[in-house]
A and B are shown apart, each in its own frame.
Chain A
Amino acid sequence: MSSILHFLTSRWGPVITGTVVGVLAPVLVMLGNPGNMGICVVCFTRDIAGALGLQRAGVVQYIRPEIIGFVLGALVAALAFKEFKPRTGSAPLVRFLLGMFAVFGALVFLGCPWRAYLRLAGGDWTAIFGILGLITGIGLGIVFLRTGFSLGRSRPAPKALGWVMPAIMVTLLVFLILVPQFGRDASGNPTGPIFFSTTGPGSQHAPLLISLAVGLFIGFLAQRSRFCTVGAVRDMIMLKDSHLLNGVIALIVVAFITNLILGQFHPGFANQPVAQTNEWWNFGGMALAGLAFTLAGGCPGRQLFLAGEGDGDSAMFVAGMLVGAGFAHNFSIASSAAGPSAFGPITVIVGLAICIIIGLTMREAVATAKA
């Protein structure tokens, strides 16, 4: 057992994690999740924002157990391997903003990097523009990293701080199970506080316990293997290090094979599930997301896993994603199947400008002192 667990921190760790995601994500689709959305950290965070009433798009409201599982699975791994280290203080407010803008960009594309790769593996060729945008955004982030960008150092924090995000996830799990309702309006619609879609993608989900178990398992594996869908591209471009990229390639290849076996591979540009075909804004949205993720140090999944390890700064990024997901629908930023929404394109441009300002202004005189 211990040799298997040790294996996860070897160069095979990301490959194993990517392989597991590649099998389980299409299986979750077969069991009820929306098409090519076995796992999408941003879409699922958006659904949670909807379930909490932070956005009122009736078709995307559900407390996704996969997200809860990601944080709690990473927590279990971190506790078991003595890596639970509460810390904070590395520009939390900027991380909150980056989380918001990452979500704006990703919801113009309609998916986070995890889903971009899964869409590709399901034959959705519009994902290609998103992935090219993602690579461009990461490339831009690397330019800032190389020229001295830093969000500064975190400091060790009291143990209690590290338990905040896991506690929030347990609370969400309670809401998911109990679905508290305070009443109904004159037309008979529930008035909340928890909203679940009855139609649309929010109503499509695999059985709760299966989704939760998959989330816990992937959260555990990813904490050990440091799986990151943005770090994969970043490290390859910047350091010529394919350690994490091998995991993403495994994810795409295995998800493609699993989709073929399950009859879920439908190649083409048009009529793909929860996708839009505008290549420019698929590209632009993910360029913004890629830049924001790179400046924050990792993909949205990685932010959840780090939050599970006790990282209060990643938890702030997650909070930014949740709030941003609310704004994305309330302000008509998120795209629909018909294409970009009224304020999607302008938000991408403003978001890029703000992230570039962050990239240019956040720096730290880093000590490389001679002994």
Chain B
Amino acid sequence: MNNNIETVDARGLSCPQPVMLTSKAIKKLNKGTIEVLVDSGTSRDNVSRLAKNSGWAVTVEEQSEGNYRIVLKK
């Protein structure tokens, strides 16, 4: 069931755009898997908080120093 994976590339964007893009993807998908790419600890925390508050399961992988892949599942 890979057809429900959405990728949000929020690398390099200022606050609050990473959260806004994730929020948009959450509303659009409602269910499934969302992969969010960010490049700061702030965006990692903000995106994770938004997703958890919206009832999504969150896993964070650090890809390289300061670059994160956040996987949201519902």
User: Which A residues contact B (CB, under 8 angstroms)?
Assistant: 9, 81-83, 85, 87, 89-90, 145-146, 150-156, 226, 228, 231, 234-235, 238-239, 241, 243, 296-298, 313, 366-371
Contact = CB atoms under 8 A, between A and B. Distances in A.
Given A82-B66, A239-B23, A370 B15 contact: no
Given A238-B16, A366-B17, A368-B24, A83 B66 contact: yes
Contact of A226 (B2, B14, B23, B45): B45
Interface in B1-36: 2, 5-9, 11-17, 19-21, 23-25, 35
Interface of A is mostly: loop
A371 B16 contact: no
Contact of B16 (A9, A231, A313, A369): A231
A151 B21 CA distance: 15
**Best-surrounded residue of A83, A234, A298, A366 (most CB of chain B within 10 A):** A366
25 contacts: A81-B41, A83-B41, A145-B16, A145-B20, A150-B13, A150-B17, A151-B14, A152-B12, A153-B13, A154-B14, A226-B45, A234-B16, A235-B16, A238-B16, A238-B20, A239-B23, A239-B50, A241-B49, A241-B50, A296-B14, A366-B13, A366-B17, A368-B7, A368-B8, A369-B9
Given A83-B40, A241-B49, A154 B15 contact: no
A87 B12 contact: yes
Interface string B39-68: 111100110011001000000000001100
A155 B9 contact: no
B17 A145 contact: yes
B15 A298 contact: yes
Contacts of A371: 2, 5-7, 35
A167 to B, nearest CB: 22
Contacts of A152: 12
A90 B66 contact: no
A313 B17 CA distance: 16
A235 B13 CA distance: 16
Contacts of A234: 16
Contacts of B50: 239, 241
Nearest to B22: A368
Nearest to B12: A153
B43 to A, nearest CB: 10
B53 A241 contact: yes
A243 B39 contact: no
A371 B12 CA distance: 20
B2 A85 contact: no
B14 A366 contact: no
Contacts of B19: 239
Contacts of A231: 15-16
A318 to B, nearest CB: 15
Given A241-B49, A366-B17, A85 B39 contact: yes
A361 B13 CA distance: 17
Given A81-B41, A368-B6, 18 more contacts: A85-B66, A87-B39, A90-B12, A90-B14, A152-B12, A226-B45, A226-B46, A228-B15, A235-B16, A238-B16, A239-B16, A243-B49, A297-B15, A368-B8, A369-B7, A370-B7, A371-B2, A371-B5
A366 B53 CA distance: 24
A287 B57 CA distance: 38
A155 B5 CA distance: 26
A85 B45 CA distance: 16
A155 B13 CA distance: 9
Contacts of A228: 15
A146 B66 CA distance: 27
A59 B26 CA distance: 53
B46 to A, nearest CB: 8
